[in-house]
Amino acid sequence: MAAQRVLHVISSTMRAGVTIMVMNMYRSVDREKVQFDFIAHDLGSDDFGPEIEALGGRVFRLPFLSRAGMAGYVRLVREILDKNGPYAAVHAHTEYQAGFVALAAHQAGVPVRICHAHADTRYVRSPLFLLKKVLGRALIDRYATQRCAASKSAALSTFGARAVKAGQVLIVPNRIDVSAFGDRTPESRANLSAACNADPNSLILGCVGRLSAEKNPGFVLDIASAAKRFGLNMRFAFAGTGNMLEMLTERRRRMDLEDTVFFLGSQGDIPSLMPCFDLLLVPSYTEGFCLAALEAQAAGTPVLATTGVPPEADMGLGLFFTLPLSAGADAWAQKAADIIEAAARPDMETRRHAIRMRGFDAAADANDLLQLYGIG
């Protein structure tokens, strides 16, 4: 019997949190029972396209809703469903825009229509965004057969307090392959040190994710400036790409931080890179969950995050710390130094056990998804 197909709708196939989470799912499911196809939008580089095809999936490219228009977008999604189905389920990971996908899937007769929230966008207050969000939520209410969210914060943001209070949102953890994250090796640390012009005594602080406004990467430059002013031997490494790279590179030059801040580009082997950091910085204004924080703890790397990161991201390993952005860059630099000095890295088995017990291991829990998709 041929595998049943599920269509995932994601922002892009570039290396970013939601796409990484879905790929972790894809690698772990029984692909003799279920295969994934993807709708991806025209954003960033195609980091995962070749792997998707190697695993047996297909990628269909669409313009974003804002470019295609509401009616045009629904029509384009419907055409993909009609031409490439049948699909057992459609699983949309695009916040309020998932409502438009659910409408198209309903029109195409797809029985399982999942709308999945990953981000907390409550800080975005522009009238146009709020109008689209209200319309998208109305479509989700009418056409989704299941609402999912990475955290309560993401659920409240996309689906609203009424749906959360009524128990209509299923919290689905953002899972990783825990077994991929071990301890640092001398060679990998040496490679990172060389990329950051670091000496053996330097502390290397990482920031992993898209270089986009909601991730607030400019604040890391402020922290780096404070650290340099305090005489702290720190290097700051960005792993990721995005539309702010050119601006950040120019700002680094103006702030005289070219010996302190380094842009590593998109990194394909985060499990090897993450344990090499002495600390992971998460300066985002808000996060629906924060996959990078989970990956850091799996690698034994302490995390200093904004209070906009939900508490579900804390794996209880003594590695997760928060500070409000309002504390300022000086406080962040000093807090980072204090954490690195005091934090103890739990051993690998302790880390893996804690993450598995909280349901964040993709390999252990992947086939739960088959029930979500109605596949036995």
The rounded distance, in Å, linking the Cα atoms of 98 and 115 is 6
Which DSSP category does 312 fall into?
G
DSSP, residue by residue, 151-181: SHHHHHHHH-HHHHHTT-EEE----B-GGG-
Parse the chain into domains and list their residue ranges: 4-175+361-372, 178-357
CATH architecture of structural domain 4-175+361-372: 3-Layer(aba) Sandwich (3.40)
Q: How far apart are alpha carbons 272 and 110 in whole angstroms?
A: 40
pLDDT in tens, the chain (376 residues): 789 999 999 998 988 888 988 998 898 888 999 999 999 997 777 889 999 999 999 999 999 898 999 999 999 999 999 999 999 999 999 999 999 999 999 999 999 999 999 988 887 778 888 888 999 999 999 999 999 998 999 999 999 999 999 999 999 888 888 999 999 999 999 999 999 999 999 999 999 998 989 899 999 999 999 999 999 999 999 999 888 999 999 999 999 999 999 999 988 889 999 999 999 999 999 888 899 999 999 999 999 999 999 999 999 999 999 999 999 999 999 999 999 999 889 999 999 999 999 989 887 666 677 788 988 6
End-to-end CA, the chain: 12
Which residues, other chains included, contact 267 with Cβ-Cβ below 8 Å and sequence gap of 6+? 15, 208, 239, 240, 273
Q: How far from the centroid of its chain's Cα atoms is residue 49's Cα?
A: 17
Predicted pLDDT of residue 119: 84
Calculate ∠ Cα 216-221-226, nearest 5°: 125
CA–chain centroid gap for 102, Å, is: 22
Query: What distance in Å separates the CA atoms of residue 47 and residue 242, rounded to the nearest whole number?
Result: 13
Enter the CATH code of domain 178-357: 3.40.50.2000
- Do 4-175+361-372 and 178-357 come out as alike in CATH topology? yes
In the numeric block, the tokens 């700002």 are attached to 251
Greatest Cα-to-Cα distance within the chain, rounded to the nearest angstrom: 65
DSSP 311: G
Q: How far is CA 374 from the centre of its chain?
A: 26
- Residue 234 is classified by DSSP as E
Q: What is the pLDDT of residue 38?
A: 97
User: Residue 115 and residue 168: Cα distance in Å, rounded?
Assistant: 12
Say which amino acid occupies 164.
Answer: V
